A and B are shown apart, each in its own frame.
Chain A
């Protein structure tokens, strides 16, 4: 019997190809989305849990206290790791590292390329981070200077199948020896790395180490026996502070504390200052919620359609009863069939996930490595399996119960389906689907609009046609002044400025003494600042409100420094006469300011940080030191000619250094990769949700029109027009859709507001879009109903009322 049941189920599926395609397809897509989202969630919630003993690995975060305000950093000073290891016997291992901001140009004998995710670490790195070494010895791999330890894929890229150990890798400045190859580490690692370079050995005394503790430059990680020791270290930090930091603390009137953070905790709890980009619980829960919604939509849809279809089998059930089937027989038959169907959908779903993650660019779109790996993640097969059996039973339950109660007498009647009154629960479910789809569509629309808003927002400076040239190696940094002078002569260049960092991607933060208005002396504040060269305002097209820009003479003046402040700073300080005010910064261990600047101008506010942050007080310091980044404003009509010219000039000055450039406008978009990724993901899910909802509505429409086939036939016979008939059926579905829309609108507005709250600058929620979405939804519904009713009306009306 089971085998014949299976055969019968497949046969009836084959006969109703369209139904099968819609219903199985819908459920399969829902399951596929849920599986994909669960793989994503699993990766997110297991960040850094792949490290052996991850419970015992802690990062040392820094807190600086100044004027009663606390500033937190994920990083810490370069001396902290070695001093703490020495001071606390309970610390088993300590290491520190920093990561390269930019990509680095590498070449082996035959291969060259740019690499990201490089760390510079001390020799203890692999004692804390237990990578699996394929070549070389972990413990000794970073002891020698100019050592590099690379990942397996890194090794494959540069050395093919040959052993990499002992080979050399060159950058534009140095030659490195490969001292080890480790198995690739999973993507869900907060401080991800493809290669680790040994840090240069600098002889340092305790004093210079102690001074370094006040500058955040490295990430420090500790390995301790248990959480208890981590608490002890944090609690007893006073003793460490008194020994190494108290002297300097008095001079700058600041306090310093550490907070130990377990490594697996970092991803969702990154630090506001100095940290790698982390994850966001709001987003993750958002995805989980949307994934769940799509799944629920698909299940509701499936149950709906399966129920609607099964109820057409009343005659069959009645006949089976006449022939001796008991209620149990009928129930079992329906449940087996529906479970087989849902299991087929699961198989299809796994295939879809494979296609989605391997063939389609889904992985790229959300920038995550998603893999269906049953061996690693056993839940990936048993959870969906349990779920689809559950869905099978749920979808079979109502038909099984109602069909088993069918009277055998119905075999004699001409009933073809169930009566109309049983339609209400199904309508409610479809109303829910409409609500979810409309919510998702509206939310997605505003997310897109916000991304558009970011792209086109006036930042206070003009990033268009600005090419950034970054000096990667010391040689080009040393010659940057000459390079700037050379480039400025180009016919295609409108203006050039130097900066220590990329405009719009954040600023440095430092302690300043600022002169007060009414000769009340100086106040200490922690302020954002940028180091720039002359022509900076001109190149970036930032408006000057008062005073003057930096002059060539300013740069040559060795006795004094010059500063331009933004409007917010003027308001913050309450300056009435900002020009000529003094700003001191860069304090030594005795608390004396090493840099004294005078304000020469006031600039309009601009977004030095991303649009997630409001514009605050900012100091532009004229830098006489070397900078790394050239901002070159080029002729917008000749961008590519200009690039060629810039490269020629660069190569003539520093022939061995690679010419590395980027477009500022594009670099700024990288600030929003997380949001872009989200809006892309939302787009996909929106399409899927709309698709599934349309399926559901088609199901309901065909069910409703099917029930009224006879009525439609009779009305047609009596001379009803086509449109009138469509309206009759649509009226019955209209309130379902209206309720769905009414639920969706406030929900969508609320979700959109939550999302937009992540941006200090954001677009507005606009009523026409909401109304438009609602109207389009109703129109689509009307279209589907029209197609169905017209199809019935087109058939011979005599048949429809005689036999219905």
Chain B
């Protein structure tokens, strides 16, 4: 599904070059759950942004679903992103003025769904993430775990084939964190590809493979043994 080869990202600020990513090779197959780990500033989030078609790269090859991303226009990238990719953030990024169901519904607006279809789909997703009883609440009325459930709901409403999660449990306590991780791995079981950036090896243990990055380079890849399941 995703193939990166020799991918390099350089930031230039006031004449100083910083190599955020340096000749990264990475392949993610359809249905895989991959964790990306590494110290702060190693380039994890940059990598996630490039995979999410939010950021550009300077050199190398990036193939998404058999399409070379460098051949795509901005418009095509936008279309690909809204149809195929869902995002989950550490700080939830819900819109304060919208209710739970409106936040979840938002991607469907931009995909041009009819009102009837939107309502139907929102009800389904509310059930899936267990937030049906809070549908008319505003984000500030919810706990962190509840907000992240809403964010997951928003990420999956358009049935994306890929979900990108950036430290999804970083602002949550362990109980809430586990709930979110369970939810994500259920999605993965149902066939959604998942790439997650995390500091937590506990969270990483939910995935099938852990990619470690240091100073913009992939330093190791290892399979996770699911002995406990």
Asked whether B97 lies within 8 Å of A409 as measured between CB atoms, the reply is no
User: Distance in Å from the Cβ of B55 to the closest Cβ of chain A?
Assistant: 6
* Chain B residue with Cβ nearest A414: B91
Report the separation of the CA atoms of residues A11 and B136 in the bound assembly, to the nearest whole angstrom. 13
Instruction: For A325, give its contact among B89, B102, B110, B166 (CB under 8 Å).
Output: B110
Query: Which residues in window 310-350 of A have CB below 8 A to B?
Result: 315-316, 319-320, 322-326, 329
Encode B109-132 as 1/0 by CB contact (under 8 A) with A.
111000000000000000000000
B183 within 8 A of A: no
B78 within 8 A of A: yes
Report the separation of the CA atoms of residues A324 and B107 in the bound assembly, to the nearest whole angstrom. 6
Query: Which residues in window 282-322 of A have CB below 8 A to B?
Result: 315-316, 319-320, 322
Report the separation of the CA atoms of residues A738 and B95 in the bound assembly, to the nearest whole angstrom. 40
Asked whether B78 lies within 8 Å of A324 as measured between CB atoms, the reply is yes
Query: Which residues in window 205-251 of A have CB below 8 A to B?
Result: none
Chain B residues, Cβ within 8 Å of A12: 97
Asked whether A323 lies within 8 Å of B107 as measured between CB atoms, the reply is yes
Asked whether B95 lies within 8 Å of A316 as measured between CB atoms, the reply is yes
Given A1-B109, A8-B98, A324-B107; A411-B78 close (CB under 8 Å): no
Encode A742-772 as 1/0 by CB contact (under 8 A) with B.
0000000000000000000000000000000
Asked whether A323 lies within 8 Å of B106 as measured between CB atoms, the reply is yes
A15 within 8 A of B: yes
Instruction: For B97, give its contact among A15, A326, A414 (CB under 8 Å).
Output: A15
* Chain A residue with Cβ nearest B75: A326
Report the separation of the CA atoms of residues A168 and B192 in the bound assembly, to the nearest whole angstrom. 99
Asked whether A412 lies within 8 Å of B109 as measured between CB atoms, the reply is no
Asked whether B54 lies within 8 Å of A408 as measured between CB atoms, the reply is yes
Given A322-B54, A324-B78; A315-B110 close (CB under 8 Å): no
Given A324-B82, A409-B49, A412-B45; A329-B110 close (CB under 8 Å): yes
Asked whether A409 lies within 8 Å of B154 as measured between CB atoms, the reply is no
Instruction: For A315, give its contact among B78, B93, B97, B111 (CB under 8 Å).
Output: B93
Most buried by B among A4, A12, A323, A409: A323
Instruction: For A319, give its contact among B93, B102, B158 (CB under 8 Å).
Output: B93
Encode B80-99 as 1/0 by CB contact (under 8 A) with A.
01110001010101011110
Asked whether B49 lies within 8 Å of A323 as measured between CB atoms, the reply is no
Chain B residues, Cβ within 8 Å of A323: 82, 87, 106-107, 110, 154
Report the separation of the CA atoms of residues A8 and B105 in the bound assembly, to the nearest whole angstrom. 14
User: Distance in Å from the Cβ of A329 to the closest Cβ of chain B?
Assistant: 6
Asked whether A324 lies within 8 Å of B111 as measured between CB atoms, the reply is yes
Report the separation of the CA atoms of residues A8 and B109 in the bound assembly, to the nearest whole angstrom. 14
Most buried by B among A1, A324, A326: A324
Chain A residues, Cβ within 8 Å of B111: 324
Report the separation of the CA atoms of residues A322 and B82 in the bound assembly, to the nearest whole angstrom. 8
Report the separation of the CA atoms of residues A409 and B87 in the bound assembly, to the nearest whole angstrom. 12
Report the separation of the CA atoms of residues A43 and B83 in the bound assembly, to the nearest whole angstrom. 61
Query: How many residues of A are in contact with the other chain, CB < 8 A?
Result: 22
Query: Which residues in window 51-102 of B have CB below 8 A to A?
Result: 52, 54-55, 78, 81-83, 87, 89, 91, 93, 95-98, 102
User: Distance in Å from the Cβ of B14 to the closest Cβ of chain A?
Assistant: 15
Report the separation of the CA atoms of residues A626 and B105 in the bound assembly, to the nearest whole angstrom. 93
Asked whether A412 lies within 8 Å of B49 as measured between CB atoms, the reply is yes
Instruction: For A409, give its contact among B54, B81, B106 (CB under 8 Å).
Output: B54
Chain B residues, Cβ within 8 Å of A414: 91
* Chain A residue with Cβ nearest B140: A15
Report the separation of the CA atoms of residues A326 and B79 in the bound assembly, to the nearest whole angstrom. 9
Report the separation of the CA atoms of residues A316 and B95 in the bound assembly, to the nearest whole angstrom. 6
Asked whether A411 lies within 8 Å of B89 as measured between CB atoms, the reply is yes
Chain B residues, Cβ within 8 Å of A8: 97-98, 102
User: Distance in Å from the Cβ of A684 to the closest Cβ of chain B?
Assistant: 37
Query: Which residues in window 653-678 of A have CB below 8 A to B?
Result: none
Chain A residues, Cβ within 8 Å of B82: 323-324
* Chain B residue with Cβ nearest A4: B102
Encode A582-624 as 1/0 by CB contact (under 8 A) with B.
0000000000000000000000000000000000000000000
Instruction: For B87, give its contact among A322, A325, A326 (CB under 8 Å).
Output: A322
* Chain B residue with Cβ nearest A329: B110
Asked whether B97 lies within 8 Å of A412 as measured between CB atoms, the reply is no
Report the separation of the CA atoms of residues A767 and B54 in the bound assembly, to the nearest whole angstrom. 61
* Chain B residue with Cβ nearest A326: B78
Chain A residues, Cβ within 8 Å of B52: 322
Chain B residues, Cβ within 8 Å of A412: 45, 49, 89, 166
Report the separation of the CA atoms of residues A315 and B45 in the bound assembly, to the nearest whole angstrom. 17
Chain A residues, Cβ within 8 Å of B81: 322, 324
Asked whether B110 lies within 8 Å of A411 as measured between CB atoms, the reply is no
Chain B residues, Cβ within 8 Å of A411: 87, 89, 93
* Chain B residue with Cβ nearest A9: B97
Report the separation of the CA atoms of residues A325 and B106 in the bound assembly, to the nearest whole angstrom. 9
Instruction: For B110, give its contact among A11, A316, A324, A409 (CB under 8 Å).
Output: A324
User: Distance in Å from the Cβ of A764 to the closest Cβ of chain B?
Assistant: 57
Report the separation of the CA atoms of residues A326 and B82 in the bound assembly, to the nearest whole angstrom. 10
User: Distance in Å from the Cβ of A463 to the closest Cβ of chain B?
Assistant: 66
Report the separation of the CA atoms of residues A572 and B98 in the bound assembly, to the nearest whole angstrom. 84
* Chain A residue with Cβ nearest B151: A319
* Chain A residue with Cβ nearest B87: A322
5 CB contacts below 8 A, A to B, read A1-B109, A320-B95, A320-B110, A323-B82, A412-B49
Footprint of B on A, CB under 8 Å? Answer: 1, 4, 8, 11-12, 15, 315-316, 319-320, 322-326, 329, 407-409, 411-412, 414
Apart from A323-B106, A323-B110, A324-B158, what are 17 other A-B pairs with CB-CB below 8 Å?
A1-B109, A8-B97, A8-B98, A8-B102, A11-B97, A319-B93, A320-B95, A322-B54, A323-B82, A323-B107, A323-B154, A324-B107, A324-B111, A408-B54, A409-B54, A412-B49, A412-B166
Q: Which 8 A-B pairs have the closest CB atoms?
A: A324-B82, A324-B110, A12-B97, A319-B93, A323-B107, A408-B54, A325-B110, A316-B95
